[in-house]
């Protein structure tokens, strides 16, 4: 089964594998090499449905996933500007902190998050695979009917299953800060349309200040994918600079999920 993929151009095949690993990082049964972001004994809290908020555990309990062949981004837990945060420093690197959960579609409400960015990555362009880096990403991954995949996405999912033992999640929605794309725009990943990036911040305005957001998950998913969302199965944060071979630093405040009203 793997033989067909060996015929692909090396750069394309490697990009597909990286996408597979990135997608699977939000899956609850992902089998890649991982390290715990804090103490190995730290408990992982479950998601509480039907409360005022869907409890998301502190970043210290999330898992740090390394992408194959990539230098990992450095994550540390800090108190800055009178708030608890995760500091992320990327140096030609890419990795992510991730937490697995399951929130059914009827319970999907809003996600609140905050970040602070020192500088944009001048040479980054998220519309191009060769320069697809971002100082900050909030990643939401969803279940769905994979029988609806295009042939290309079905092959990508099959490759992922072959190499990792798990298929691709049905869809991934990212909130990003882009250099030039208009705020509110949606960027379709150049390798697969099952990853779509919503631009919630654009340009240099707001750098070196905390930016706070509350996003309606269902509305954003429907706008990005033109269909209703399935269950939310994972969340992650990611700061990457591997494609542009640069450095980037950012801070993330705690994430909070609120149920549908």
pLDDT in tens, 47-71: 444 444 578 899 999 999 888 789 9
pLDDT given at position 220 = 97
If pLDDT is split at 50, 70 and 90, which confidence band does 26 have?
very low
For residue 86, give the H/E element and its range: strand 83-91
If pLDDT is split at 50, 70 and 90, which confidence band does 219 have?
very high
Q: Does residue 107 sit in helix, strand or coil?
A: helix
pLDDT given at position 18 = 52
Domain annotation for the chain: domains and CATH numbers: 34-150+169-258 (2.60.120)
Q: Does residue 152 sit in helix, strand or coil?
A: helix
The alpha carbon of residue 126 and the mean position of all alpha carbons in its chain are separated, in whole angstroms, by: 14
The alpha carbon of residue 32 and the mean position of all alpha carbons in its chain are separated, in whole angstroms, by: 16
CA 27 → CA 113, 143, 184, 256, distances in Å? 21, 9, 27, 19
Q: Which of 19-33, 86-100, 183-197, 219-233 has the lowest mean pLDDT?
A: 19-33
Of residues 90, 32, 80, 25, the one with CA closest to residue 209: 80
Residue 22's Cβ-count burial label (10 Å; 0-12, 13-18, 19+) is buried
pLDDT in tens, 132-184: 999 999 999 999 998 889 998 888 888 877 776 667 789 999 999 999 899 99
pLDDT given at position 19 = 53
Alpha carbons 65 and 245: distance in angstroms, whole number: 20
Pair 53, 47: CB distance under 8 Å: no
Pair 31, 165: CB distance under 8 Å: yes
Report angle CA 84, 26, 77 to the nearest 5 degrees. 20
Q: Does residue 12 sit in helix, strand or coil?
A: helix
Q: Which residue has the higher pLDDT, 32 or 187?
A: 187
pLDDT given at position 164 = 63
């Amino acid at each position: 089964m793997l033989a067909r993929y060996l015929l692909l151009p090396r750069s394309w095949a490697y990009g597909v594998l990286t996408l597979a690993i990135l997608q699977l990082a939000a899956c609850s049964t992902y089998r890649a090499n991982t390290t715990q972001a804090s103490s190995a004994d730290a408990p992982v809290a479950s998601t509480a449905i039907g409360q005022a908020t869907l409890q998301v555990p502190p970043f210290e309990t999330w898992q740090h996933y390394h992408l194959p062949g990539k230098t990992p981004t450095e994550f540390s837990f800090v108190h800055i500007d009178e708030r608890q945060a995760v500091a992320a420093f990327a140096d030609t690197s890419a990795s992510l902190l991730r937490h697995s959960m399951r929130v059914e579609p009827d319970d999907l409400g809003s996600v609140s998050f905050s970040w602070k960015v020192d500088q944009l990555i001048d040479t980054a362009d998220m519309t191009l695979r060769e320069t697809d880096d971002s100082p900050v990403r909030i990643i939401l991954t969803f279940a769905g009917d994979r029988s609806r995949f295009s042939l290309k996405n079905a092959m990508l999912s099959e490759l992922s299953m072959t190499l990792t033992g798990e298929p691709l999640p049905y869809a991934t929605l990212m909130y990003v800060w882009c250099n030039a794309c208009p705020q509110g725009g949606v960027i379709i990943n150049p390798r697969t349309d099952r990853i779509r990036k919503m631009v919630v911040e654009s340009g240099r305005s707001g750098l070196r200040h905390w930016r706070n957001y509350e996003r309606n998950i269902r509305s954003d998913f429907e706008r990005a994918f033109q269909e209703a969302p399935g269950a939310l199965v994972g969340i992650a944060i990611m700061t990457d600079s591997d494609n542009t071979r640069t450095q980037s630093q950012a801070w993330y405040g705690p994430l909070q999920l609120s149920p549908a009203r």
